[in-house]
């Protein structure tokens, strides 16, 4: 696993954008796996800037997102479809018909069937990842067993707590999500994770131990042949990864 130390969040966002830019320039019609959460926002801003100012071309790029809340309309301002449109797709020259965020409303089984069918026929060139404070990847919550394909998850109380900051109050946070499974994530050709802020526990388990721990799904990154972790210097120091 390759580890890149970033000076700060802005630097981490640029370094993430550098990796994605290289993929987009080398394979302008590939599929990117994308993530939501606050961590990749700076990278999306940087990619949008490079598209506008430096001609980084997304016109033939396809994307698929990790997950979506169950019960939120795509127009809800906390849905992940809305997040992707407002943080990235509205600011780059991508054809939105080529972007896929799983449906959060309607029949869950039918939505998962569609999501799994798409994933089965899609080769993800690189998958962007954040990490939950409890070590979750996408919405694969810690547990004794992890799931291969796209499925519905019951969100952990700690995830509801962590994501409550985006909603008017905690009661509004959806209790369920549809998410890529661990297998879908691991089958991406490359993985890139940004880990910053208050992710001390997950960062320690990921970088300071060689245990593959289903109670910290982020540790599965270690098994991937082409995985990169971008970590802020301050956090890397806090966990003792660097002096």
The binding site for ligand GLP (CB under 6 A) comprises: 35-39, 66-67, 130-132, 138-139, 159, 163
Give the torsion through C-alpha atoms of 1, 186, 130, 226, to 10 deg. 30
d(CA 33, CA 184): 10
**Closest to ligand GLP by CB, 3 or 164:** 164
Task: Give the H or E element holding residue 120.
Answer: helix 108-120
Closest to ligand GLP by CB, 29 or 157: 157
- Tell the residue number behind the tokens 């690189």, with chain if given: 126
Q: How many C-beta atoms lie closer than 10 Å to residue 222's C-beta? A: 17
Closer by beta carbon to ligand GLP, 59 or else 86: 86
CA–CA distance, 33 with 29 (Å, rounded to integer): 13
φ/ψ of 154, rounded to 5, equals: -90, 125
**Is 92 or 102 the residue whose CB approaches ligand GLP more closely?**
102
How is residue 232 written in tokens? 């802020």
Provide the greatest CA pair distance for the chain: 51
Q: 59 or 198: whose CB is closer to ligand GLP?
A: 198
Sheet of 2-6, strands arranged across: 2-6, 227-232, 191-195, 124-129, 31-34, 62-65, 99-100
Nearer CB in complex with ligand GLP: 132/181: 132
């Amino acid at each position: 696993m390759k580890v890149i130390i970033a000076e700060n969040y802005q630097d981490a966002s640029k370094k993430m954008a550098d990796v994605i830019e290289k993929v987009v320039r080398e394979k302008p019609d590939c599929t990117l796996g994308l993530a939501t959460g606050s961590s990749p926002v700076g990278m999306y801003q940087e990619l949008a800037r490079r598209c506008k100012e430096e001609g980084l071309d997304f016109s033939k790029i396809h994307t698929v997102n990790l997950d979506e809340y169950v019960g939120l309309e795509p127009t809800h301002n906390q849905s992940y479809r809305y997040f992707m449109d407002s943080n990235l797709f509205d600011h780059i020259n991508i054809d939105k018909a080529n972007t896929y965020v799983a449906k959060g409303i309607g029949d869950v089984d039918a939505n998962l069937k569609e999501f799994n069918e798409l994933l089965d026929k899609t080769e993800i060139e690189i998958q962007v990842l954040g990490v939950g404070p409890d070590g979750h990847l996408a919405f694969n919550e810690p547990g004794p067993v992890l799931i291969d394909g796209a499925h519905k998850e019951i969100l952990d109380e700690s995830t509801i707590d962590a994501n409550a900051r985006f909603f008017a109050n905690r009661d509004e946070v959806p209790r369920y999500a549809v998410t890529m499974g661990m297998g879908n994530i691991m089958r991406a050709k490359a993985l890139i994770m940004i880990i910053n802020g208050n992710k001390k526990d997950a960062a320690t388990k990921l970088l300071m131990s060689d245990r593959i721990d289903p109670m910290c799904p982020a540790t599965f990154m270690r098994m991937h042949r082409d995985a990169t972790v971008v970590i802020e210097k301050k956090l890397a120091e806090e966990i003792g990864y660097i002096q």
